[in-house]
Amino acid sequence: MTPRQIALVRESFARVAPIADVAATIFYDRLFTLDPSVRRLFAATDMVAQRRNLMQTLAVVVANLDRLEGIIPAVEALGRRHAGYSVGADDFETVGAALLDTLEIGLKPDFTAETRDAWATAYGLLASVMIAAGASVDAASQEPTAA
């Protein structure tokens, strides 16, 4: 990510952070509207805690965008845990769309195309690390094939 993209993500996140719970509520509403089948993954989830978890994780990522190497192991571990929650690669696309929609709803009219691009880049990086780590869990859990 360019320094400008990092600054745009940070500035926009700083404006959402004070209304973190409202933003996270909008996010999950949007997610379940875009794909109602995703709701079953959260059937047993405490959504109050989940909203806080999501926003706290995003805050750590946003703070570390200029030194992502340092948080890669934690992001990989998060990705491996998500494989255990039955989250698939397709779900990451839906979550990315819900995230961008939430920012647009919350920040309009200041959510410019450039800021949207910056967020899409940041989310894409995060998602790709999580998906790759999750795929390695899936591969490791396959039954060995008879030789």
Task: Give the footprint of ligand HEM on this chain (CB under 6 A).
Answer: 38, 41-42, 44-45, 50, 53-54, 57, 78, 81-82, 85, 87, 91-92, 95, 126-127, 130
Q: Which is nearer to ligand HEM, 53 or 112 (CB)?
A: 53
Task: Output the residue with the shortest Cβ distance to ligand HEM.
Answer: 45
Q: Which is nearer to ligand HEM, 140 or 147 (CB)?
A: 140
Q: What is the nearest approach in angstroms of ligand HEM to the Cβ of residue 81?
A: 4
Q: Give the torsion sign (CA, 7, 10, 88, 72).
A: positive
Q: CA-CA distance, 63 to 43, in Å (whole number)?
A: 31
Q: Which is nearer to ligand HEM, 7 or 41 (CB)?
A: 41
Phi-psi region of 111 (alpha: psi -120 to 50; beta: other; left: phi over 0): beta
Q: Are 134 and 79 in contact (CB under 8 A)?
A: yes
